[in-house]
Amino acid sequence: MRIVITGASGNVGTALLRRLTRDAGQEHDLVGVCRRPPAGGQPYEAVSWTALDLAGPDVDEALRPVVRGADAVVHLAWGFQPSRDITYLDRLGIDGTRAVIDAVHAEGVPHLVHMSSVGVYSPGPDSPEGLGVDELWPTEGIESLAYSKEKVAAERLLDEYERLHPDGAVVARMRPGLIVQRDAGSALLRYGVPSYVPGGLLRHVPVLPVDRNLVVPIVHTTDVADAIARVLERRSAGAFNLAADPPVTRDLIADVLGARAVHVPRQVLRVLTDVAWRTQLQPLDPGWIDLAFALPLLDTTRARRELDWAPRVDARTALAGVVAGMADAAATTSPALRPRSVVGELAALVRRGPVVKRLLP
């Protein structure tokens, strides 16, 4: 197949390239679209790259020749920073998704796979640990986090497209929990940890001050990539929840860190995060605290039944892997997943300002 992948150099994109280039007996024609194409290295060498910012001007016209003749488009491109420039994030997440949909329709691409998120769901029910919502759960997200609102808006664009064009492209929506892998360690540090904090400190966390009620769904990046590949193979439609067991609780995180868990109410965490974000002491938007405590657990029955999918990496192993990756500043040759160091981050802070304000974190 000829497959065009937006955001192909990122966390999920890298894993998807590895999965597709490993397919026995299949040589896919892979086209990667991102702002900063990788210069080389595996798995990026097997891809034809197009440098394109989906938030940039004239993106509609620029995308059409890229997707022309494709059997499928996988839309992964998204932004997490700069968290203080919501206008840019909206252009990338919402307008960029609209541009992808328009290009797919204009060029007659038969299949569109969109990377949605557990963040599109409305807050989960008060249910015992382990019970998850299926794909019919309301998708209103939360109002306090741009990421959630943008993911919801992107799905509304897909709703409108399917309503107006019932004979158009087949649309699939992947709704994973938090996606983690070791190679994303440097990127996650850059997005969520102050530039002056070495990742190696994660090996020496004595106390984890978090609300005891925290429980979130996570899934390893390779398992997300495997689900996308299965959707492509079957030309599947509709939404698919993706998550691994067990649900990740505060105590599980503390156990992986080797730390002692201490209950700190989420309202206190939210205030502290907000103050630190407003004073630019740390880059994490306080809305992520709201999302963490609003996320429902996920029922993955549909993906298991219709895609014959099952996560190969359990949630504890996935969490331990990404924590180790953050401590080691794990990376790839992709600019999006490049190595992170305190010296390098402080130099970028001086040259380009804090990560919450710059377009290329």
pLDDT digits (tens, 9 = 90+) for 24-33: 556 899 999 9
Domains of the chain: 2-260+263-352 (3.40.50.720)
| Burial degree of 259 (CB within 10 A; 0-12, 13-18, 19+) | middle
pLDDT of 349? 65
Q: What is the Cα–Cα distance from 137 to 155, expressed in whole angstroms?
A: 14
Q: What is the Cα–Cα distance from 183 to 330, expressed in whole angstroms?
A: 5
Can you list the alpha helix ranges (DSSP code H) found in the chain? 11-21, 59-67, 86-90, 96-106, 146-164, 185-192, 221-234, 250-257, 266-278, 287-294, 301-307, 315-327, 342-352
Beta partners for residue 215, in sequence order: 249
φ, ψ (nearest 5 deg) of residue 133: -90, 150
Least confident residue range of 56-65, 164-173, 188-197: 188-197
Query: E strand or H helix at 246, and its extent?
Result: none
Q: What is the Cα–Cα distance from 179 to 92, expressed in whole angstroms?
A: 20
Q: What is the Cα–Cα distance from 48 to 171, expressed in whole angstroms?
A: 24
247-300 pLDDT per residue, tens: 999 999 999 999 999 999 999 999 999 999 898 888 889 999 999 999 999 999
Percent residues over pLDDT 90 in the chain: 79
Q: What is the Cα–Cα distance from 274 to 186, expressed in whole angstroms?
A: 23
Contact (CB, 8 A) for 143 and 286:
no
pTM of structure: 0.93
pLDDT of 341? 77
pLDDT of 1? 93
Q: What is the Cα–Cα distance from 199 to 186, expressed in whole angstroms?
A: 8
What value does the mean pLDDT take over residues 106-129? 89
